[in-house]
Each structure stands twice: as C-alpha cells, then as structure tokens.
Structure 1
Amino acid sequence: MSVALIGKVVWVLGIVAWYAIRYPSERRARRTRVVSDRRSTTEAVGLSAALLGLAFVPGFYVATGKPEAADYTAHLWAVILGAILFCMAMWVFRRTHKTLGRNWSISLQIREKHELISHGPYALVRHPMYTSFLLMALGQAFLLANWVVGLAGVIGFAVLFFLRVDKEERMMLEIFGPEYRAYMDRTKRIIPYIY
C-alpha cells in the first residue's frame, strides 16, 4: 500500500468517525425545542464552505484522484502527522458534543433550558468545536498529498469561523450577559492560551 493511499484511508476513517460522533447529537437536537433561532444566509454560506472544503472536495479527490495536477509526493511523516491531528480533532469533537449534551446545535440556536457550558473542553477555549475543525483541516492537508485539497479544508474552516464566531459570541452575550463576558475574559477562542 502506498503512502498516499494510507493517507486517503485514514482520512476516510476520520470522516466516518466524525459522522458517528455527530449523528447522536443531531437526533437528540431534533427532540429539544428551540427558543431562539439566529440562522441566516451568512451562516448557511459558512456551513456550506466548511462542508465543501472538509468533505466534498477531499471526498471527490479520494474517489477520483482529481485534480491530479495538484498532487505532490506523499511522505510517511506527513501522513503520521495528519493522522495524529485528525485523531486529536475527533477527540476534541467527541468531548465537545458530550459536554454540550442537549445544548448542542448545528446552527446558531438556543435550546430550551440552555445553559452556559464552561467545563470540559470549554474550560480552555470558548469554541472547541471550531478547534476540532481547525485540527481536521490541518490533518487533511497532511493526509492528502494534493495542494487543492489541502487548501480547501483550511479555506472551508476559515470561511465558517470568520462568518460565524462573532455572531455566535454576540448571541451568547445577549443570552447570558455578564456571565458570558466573564467567561470570555478568562478563555481564548479556539487555541488555548493563544487565540
């Protein structure tokens, strides 16, 4: 098995793990009443960009090998690093879903009896879900030896993050007020102690 193929297999396994983690939360969310919905066209664009960059573009590449003109030589060290990053992403992703419980939502929504979560991964960063997507994007760039696919993940993450995080924080400030402001003062956004 070639190094490039190992990277593709690891990426596919990571995406299967991602869906296996996400699915129970999606099912539970359908049963919990939404009391405030802030979905918008901008949010839909961000979610679509992330899905395109982190799933569709790499999935097409894994299935077809295109665009092959953007391929470069796959190295074992890069695939190992990509696998580590992807595993870290899935660990953070799972912890985030587990910690959020019934508060989880794919979009900007407040659920009935919504609580401010500040423990688990939320003790280190305000948006660990975005942390997991950043780790996924970086892992993808190392796992799949193709410039277009590597950039697609990073760009998809960046579009989602920059279109959505400010709105998400404004919504949390409206709902939780000074409690969220104090939480913002003691945590970083997505990278512990840095940003």
Structure 2
Amino acid sequence: MTLDTAGEALWVVGVVAWYIIRYPFERRARRVRVVRNDRSLPDTVGLALALFGLAIFPALYVFTGFPAAGDYPAGLSTIALGTAFFSCALWLFRSSHKALGRNWSISLEIREKHKLVCIGPYAVVRHPMYTSFLLMAVGQALLLSNWVVALAGLAGFAFLFFLRIGKEEHIMLESFGPQYRAYMERTKRIIPYLY
C-alpha cells in the first residue's frame, strides 16, 4: 500500500465514522418537536456546498483519481498529521453532539424545551461543530494528496460557516437574550481564545 492509498483509506474510514457518529443523534432529533425553523436558501446552499467539498468531491477523487492534475506525492508526516486532525475532528464532532443532546438539529431550528448548552466543548467555543468541520477540512487536505481536493474541503467549510453563522447567532440571541449575550462575551466562535 502506498502512502497515497493509505491517506485515501484513512479519509474513507473518517467519513464513515463521521456518519456513524451522526446517525443516532439524527434519529433522536426527529422525535423532538421543532418550535422554530429558520431554514433558508443560503442555509441549504451552505449545507450542499459543505457536503460537496467535504464528501462528494473527495469521494470522487478517491474512487476515480479525478482531478489528477492537482496530485502531489504524499508524505508520512503529512498522513500522520492528517490522521491527527481528522481524529480530533471526530472526537469534537461526537462531543458536540453529545453535549447538545435533544437540542441538536442539522438546520437552524429551535426545539421544544430548547436550552442554551454551555458544557463540554461549548464551554470553550460557541460553535464546536463548525470547529470539527474545519479540523475535518484540514485533515482532508493532508490525507488526500491533491491540491484541488484540499481547497474543495476548505471552501466547503467556509461556505457553510459564513452562510450560517450570523443567522445562527441571531436566532440564539432572539431565543436566549442576555444569557446568550453573556455567553458570547466569554467564548469565541470556533477557535479558542482567537476567533
């Protein structure tokens, strides 16, 4: 097995693990009544672009080699670092879901008896699930030795983040008022102590 193939196999394992982590939370969330749904076209576009950049396009590359023009040789340290980033992404992704519990949703929704979650990774950043997507995009860029695929993952994350984050924080401010404003003052958005 070459390093390129090893990186691709690790990426596939990571994406499968991502889905295995999300599935039970998605099933449980369907059982909790939604009291406010602010899903919009930009929200849907952000989700679609993230799915394309972090799953569909890299899967196309892994299974077909397209676009080969962006290939570069994989290195052992790059694959190891990519594995570390992807592993951290999966850990944070699961921790975020677990902390949110019944409050989780894939889109901009407020659920019945929704509570402001400030525990686990939410004690450090307001949007750790986005942090996990950023770590996943960096892991993808390191595991898949192709510049085009690397940029697709980072662009997919950026579109999701910038199309949703403002509206998401607006909804939280409307729902939790001063409690959320105080939470904003003591935490950063996605990178602890920086942003």
TM-score (norm 2): 0.99
- The answer to whether structure 1 residue 91 and structure 2 residue 91 are counterparts is yes
Q: What is aligned with 2:176?
A: 176
**Which whole-Å deviations, capped at 9, do the CAs of 1:51-73 have from their partners, x for residues lacking one?**
00000000000010111111011
Question: For residue 56 of structure 1, what is the amino acid of its counterpart?
Answer: I
Distance (whole Å) between structure 2 residues aligned to residue 101 and residue 109 of structure 1: 14
Q: Which residue of 2 aligns with 1:61?
A: 61
* Deviations, residues 86-120 of structure 1 (Å, cap 9, x unaligned): 00000000000011000000000000000000010
Alpha-carbon separation, structure 2, partners of 1:89 and 1:73: 24
Give the match for residue 188 of structure 2.
Answer: 188
In 2, the alpha carbon distance for the partners of 1:94 and 1:138 equals 18
SS in structure 2 at match of 1:114? coil
Amino acid at match of 2:64: T
What's the % identity of the aligned pairs? Answer: 65
For 1:48, give the aligned amino acid.
A
Summarize the alignment of residues 45-194 of structure 1 with structure 2, pairs less than 5 Å apart: 45-194=45-194
Task: State the number of aligned residues.
Answer: 195
Distance 1:122 1:35 in 2: 23
What root-mean-square deviation, in Å, do the aligned CA atoms of Structure 1 and Structure 2 show? Answer: 0.4
The one-letter code matched in structure 2 to 1:11 is W
TM-score of the two chains, using structure 1 as the length reference: 0.99
1:180 positional shift: 0.1
SS of the aligned residue for 2:116 comes to coil
Superposed displacement of residue 177, structure 1: 0.1
Aligned pairs for 1:23-34 (under 5 A) are 23-34=23-34
> Could you say what secondary structure the match of 2:11 adopts?
helix
Structure 1 unaligned runs (5+)?
Answer: none
Gaps of 5+ in 2: none
- Post-superposition, which runs of at least 4 consecutive aligned residues in structure 1 deviate over 6 A? none
